[in-house]
Amino acid sequence: MPTAKTIFEEIFDNENAFRLFCSIAASGEAQGGWENGRIADLVPSAEQDLAPKIARHGADEDKHGRIFNALLRKRGLDPVPVPPDTDYTMRLEKAGIGLAHSRLRAEQKLTEHDIVTYLAHSRVTEQRASEQMRALRKFTADRPEIARAIRAISTDEDNHLAYCNEELLRLAAAGHEQVIRHTLRTAAMAEIAIYRDVSKAVMAHMGSILGWPKAKSALLAAGIQAFYIYERLGGWRRMVSLRMPARRNALCGPAPVHSR
């Protein structure tokens, strides 16, 4: 019976599977970095205090992209193109979740409503990132090189999640509560379906690289679908709750140095 841990062990042990895993992760992080960098540049004057935090958020995501690329380099591997069906960030953007890339490429300043949209989208996707990294920490415990990289990313993702909660609570108190609730729910509903589809696509690509029998692939797809049903029936609520984090002002420090 395959478990998440044994599946990831198979992926880490196979060069082509590991290359695809790190390439998908690096690409998603880099896209997140670009989005946040643009948002930081376009913050409206009323929300200027947020600009350094959004810039820091973007710098962290860029750093995560470099960390995954460094893991590839250490094994003597080059990144491969990301199959479009596994591109979580692009699929969210295409579904209209978060701010459109056309909007971010323009030079026009964002509105306060755009900032709410950005933070609500991030609240949902950072929950996912935080949970995924916590799971990966467990799966990589006996692989020190990968574990060190995942630990660094995991700490950042927890900070991003704390920051989104704190800033959304501030904006909710300032009168945006209703739109925040609505945006969070819409983002969560779209995200859980896209996460399911992307997970199935990633596992289908891994299955063909690793030569999995049909029954094993079918079992994994059924597991992913079952998790989606859990999220659809109420698990999604954990992605939209707002709680003041224990760690306040988690993104107040300087941007990370380009060490990798």
The binding site for Fe ion (CB under 5 A) comprises 29, 61, 64, 126, 129, 157, 160
Q: How far is the CB of 128 from Fe ion (least distance, A)?
A: 9
Q: Which structure tokens are listed for 39?
A: 């948002």
Nearer to Fe ion by C-beta: 28 or 207? Answer: 28
Q: How far is the CB of 235 from Fe ion (least distance, A)?
A: 20
Q: Which structure tokens are listed for 202?
A: 């990633």
- The amino acid that residue 219 corresponds to is L
Q: How far is the CB of 219 from Fe ion (least distance, A)?
A: 29
Q: Residue 50, CB half-sphere, CA atoms under 13 Å: how many?
A: 28
Task: Report the SS3 class of residue 174.
Answer: helix
Q: How far is the CB of 150 from Fe ion (least distance, A)?
A: 11
Nearer to Fe ion by C-beta: 29 or 93? Answer: 29
Nearer to Fe ion by C-beta: 209 or 250? Answer: 250
Output phi, psi for 130, to 5 deg: -60, -45
Nearer to Fe ion by C-beta: 137 or 216? Answer: 137
Q: Which structure tokens are listed for 140?
A: 């990589």
Output phi, psi for 110, to 5 deg: -75, 165
Q: How far is the CB of 63 from Fe ion (least distance, A)?
A: 8
Alpha helices in the chain (DSSP H): 4-13, 15-41, 51-74, 88-94, 101-105, 112-139, 144-171, 177-210, 214-232
Query: In this structure, what is the dihedral angle of CA atoms 251, 39, 231, 243, given to the nearest 10 degrees?
Result: 40
Nearer to Fe ion by C-beta: 149 or 224? Answer: 149
Nearer to Fe ion by C-beta: 109 or 148? Answer: 148
Q: How far is the CB of 255 from Fe ion (least distance, A)?
A: 14
Q: Which structure tokens are listed for 229?
A: 């049903």
